[in-house]
Amino acid sequence: MSASRPARGSAPSSRPPLRLKYVEAILCVGFALAFIVWTYLSAPGPLVPCAEQHPPAIDALLPIPDTQPRSVAGQFAEAFATFTHPIIILGLIAAWVVYAYTARMRRLSVSLAIAAAGIPTQFLIALHLAHPAPGSAFSDSIAAFTYSYPNAHITAITLASWVLVTLARAHHRSAMVAAGTVLGYAAVAASAVGQWYMGQATLSDLIGGFLLGAAFANLALWVGGIDAILTSWVNRRLSRSSSEKRAAVIYNPTKFDDLSLLRRRVAAEVRAAGWRPTVWLETTPDDPGRSMARRALEAGVDLVMVAGGDGTVRAVSSQLAGTDMPMALIPAGTGNLLARNLSVPLDTDAAIRLALHGSRKAIDMVTCTFDDGQERFVVMAGMGLDAQIMESTDSGLKKVIRSGAYAVAAVQNAVPDPFTATITLDDAPPVRRQMVMALMGNVGTITAGMTLFPRATPTDGMVDLLLANPGKVVDWARLGAQILTGQEMEGFTLTRARTVLIEADRPVPFELDGDTAGSTRTLRAEVDQAALHVIVPR
């Protein structure tokens, strides 16, 4: 397929397949109501003051045995209870919250955080109801709790089992889902038997703990937007659509700790949408995506997904500009400025789903001509201080503190050298200015979510220009005020044009979309209006 000819079926499917959205909500409400009713009927304390004199009849079905701590079975039960202590499970879930967030599984991290909240909630409920644990020889064990309703171990192990299965589903490993489900049920059953055998809980305590844990597990699925096994099974039966469409993924391998996980996540969404298997194209240090974009065009795909940072996005978009090929973003870098400005989710699963079911939008690109050549940018470009900051930013530090690495580099360049340049906007007379930075933007928001160009949109056919010449440290505070208020402050000029020409008195470092590009004395920027088709939320 030639670059100028529209891609076959280039528009993504008009709407996502029908899905049942409220299965988890119904289950959450159902388990929560069941827990409230069960608590009212069986738990002594503020809700049922007389229940202590009349314990639930169901507890008589399974009387607590007189187990000795020194017996083999007793020691085994205590060891299992210690190993599955709610505090340990809470710590493990919290660790997975951090992992999921850093792995760009934002919805999963929200779900896990809600699940973790179920454990301290159980503690507060037990403290309020004050149902004393049955007296037993294990009362002084570190795994024992003062109050037994709802049972802390069962609530925690129910949530831990849910986490195990949910993590397997998030990694798209069907075998692990099946094994995790069996292991989870077995763990809940083993914990229940152990708690009863140690005399730490009655049957009604165990049922209350399970109902509370199940309610929080489904609440986590509901709020986080994560499909449960039941929902996934139902939706698979509803999603019978098929298509001849095919996508290509151009990815930067340095931005992903687990490339196999990325492949599984893309494959799962593509299969659910009925698309054909995906073409995978990997960037290299020498080619951040240009030849891969040309290969995608030649392959006749219907969509190009870009999985990488701003540099990968710029390289691919510069090749797709002027064609009808839509580009979708799977954010993976530190800045992800185009994605943020287009409201593309930073959660990888959500971004992939948007790529397949979003709508097309034509945005501007900007062609920059400089001393040694010509390049396009889609987000921002600049001369002077910003290029020095980009060049000074430590790549290893970016992986640790992300956008904070730019702040460290900014401190290192706190006393920049000014340069003098002649500025020409469209057909207006040239103006000579001294400055430390000339920053041009196709979008308004920069790193850390700061709005630098209040009027900038990638569809207005204009490039916004900021000229900065702060004389004192306090002037940088004025820049902050300008960012917050959108009003021009002393030492900073904010303007816009269709064509910007900057002619410096000496070679000055410059950057394009966060990538340093050397030094130049001349930088000319011209807007290519509606040159690039991208996938955005509806």
- For the segment(s) 371-528, the CATH number from 2.60.200.40, 2.60.120.260, 1.10.10.10, 3.20.20.150 is 2.60.200.40
Could you tell me if 310 and 335 are in contact, meaning their C-beta atoms sit under 8 angstroms apart? yes
- Read off the tokens for 521: 């004395």
Query: Looking up tokens 């152990």, which residue turns up?
Result: 194
Closest CA to 85 of 161, 185, 201, 191: 191
258 vs 101: CA distance, rounded Å: 14
Burial of residue 486, with CB atoms counted within 10 A of its CB: 0-12 exposed, 13-18 middle, 19 or more buried: middle
117 vs 523: CA distance, rounded Å: 54
SS (H, E, C) 174-232: HHHHHHHHHHHHHHHHHHHHHHHHCCCCCHHHHHHHHHHHHHHHHHHHHHHCCCCHHHH
* pLDDT tens per residue across all 538 residues of the chain: 334 344 444 444 434 444 455 777 888 999 999 999 998 887 554 444 444 445 566 666 666 666 666 678 888 888 888 888 999 999 999 998 998 888 778 888 888 999 999 999 999 999 988 888 787 677 778 888 888 899 999 999 999 988 888 777 766 666 666 777 788 888 899 998 888 888 888 888 999 999 999 999 989 888 877 665 455 545 554 455 567 899 999 999 988 877 888 888 898 888 888 899 999 999 999 999 999 999 999 999 999 999 998 889 999 999 999 999 999 999 987 778 899 999 998 888 889 999 999 999 999 999 999 998 899 999 999 898 877 666 555 454 344 434 444 443 444 444 467 899 999 999 999 999 988 889 899 998 876 567 788 888 999 999 999 888 766 555 655 555 555 444 545 556 788 999 999 999 999 999 888 788 889 999 999 999 999 999 999 8
Could you tell me if 247 and 278 are in contact, meaning their C-beta atoms sit under 8 angstroms apart? yes
- Read off the tokens for 165: 């299965």
Report residue 445: phi and psi, to 5°. Answer: -100, 135
**pLDDT given at position 393:** 53
**pLDDT given at position 147:** 86
DSSP string, 435-478: ESEEEEESSSB-GGG-BS-TT--TTSS-EEEEEE---SHHHHHH
**pLDDT given at position 472:** 54
Burial of residue 374, with CB atoms counted within 10 A of its CB: 0-12 exposed, 13-18 middle, 19 or more buried: exposed
Could you tell me if 196 and 260 are in contact, meaning their C-beta atoms sit under 8 angstroms apart? no
Could you tell me if 314 and 534 are in contact, meaning their C-beta atoms sit under 8 angstroms apart? no
Closest CA to 328 of 26, 46, 11, 65: 11
**pLDDT given at position 326:** 96
Closest CA to 30 of 232, 234, 211, 230: 211
**pLDDT given at position 181:** 78
**Residue-wise over 403-438: b if at least 16 C-beta within 10 A, else e?**
bebbeebbeebeebebbebebbbeeeeeeeeebbbb
- Judged by DSSP in three states, 119 sits in helix
Closest CA to 68 of 190, 193, 199: 199
β-pairing, 359-370 with 515-536? antiparallel
Q: Which residues pair with 370 in a beta bridge?
A: 373, 523
Calculate ∠ Cα 18-19-22, nearest 5°: 145
189 vs 108: CA distance, rounded Å: 26
Element (H, E) at 306: strand 303-308
145 vs 151: CA distance, rounded Å: 9
306 vs 328: CA distance, rounded Å: 6
Going from the C-alpha of 303 to that of each of 12, 293, 329, the distances in angstroms are 8, 11, 11
DSSP string, 391-449: HHS-HHHHHHHTTHHHHHHHHHTSSPPPEEEEEEETTSPPEEEEESEEEEESSSB-GGG
User: Looking at the domain covering 238-356, what would its CATH class be?
Assistant: alpha beta
Could you tell me if 294 and 2 are in contact, meaning their C-beta atoms sit under 8 angstroms apart? no
Instruction: Enumerate the H helices of 67-143 as residue ranges.
Output: 72-83, 86-102, 106-129
Which value, in Å, is the radius of gyration of the alpha carbons in the chain? 30
43 vs 34: CA distance, rounded Å: 13
**pLDDT given at position 452:** 80
246 vs 83: CA distance, rounded Å: 48
Burial of residue 271, with CB atoms counted within 10 A of its CB: 0-12 exposed, 13-18 middle, 19 or more buried: middle
The residues, any chain, with a CB within 8 Å of residue 146's CB and separated by 6 or more, are 132, 133
Could you tell me if 471 and 434 are in contact, meaning their C-beta atoms sit under 8 angstroms apart? no
Could you tell me if 247 and 272 are in contact, meaning their C-beta atoms sit under 8 angstroms apart? no
**pLDDT given at position 476:** 57
Largest CA distance in the chain: 96
321 vs 290: CA distance, rounded Å: 11
Could you tell me if 22 and 8 are in contact, meaning their C-beta atoms sit under 8 angstroms apart? no
Instruction: Give the residue extent of every domain in the chain.
Output: 20-232, 238-356, 371-528
**pLDDT given at position 44:** 53
Going from the C-alpha of 409 to that of each of 202, 253, 393, 401, 406, the distances in angstroms are 61, 25, 5, 12, 5
Could you tell me if 128 and 147 are in contact, meaning their C-beta atoms sit under 8 angstroms apart? no
216 vs 155: CA distance, rounded Å: 9
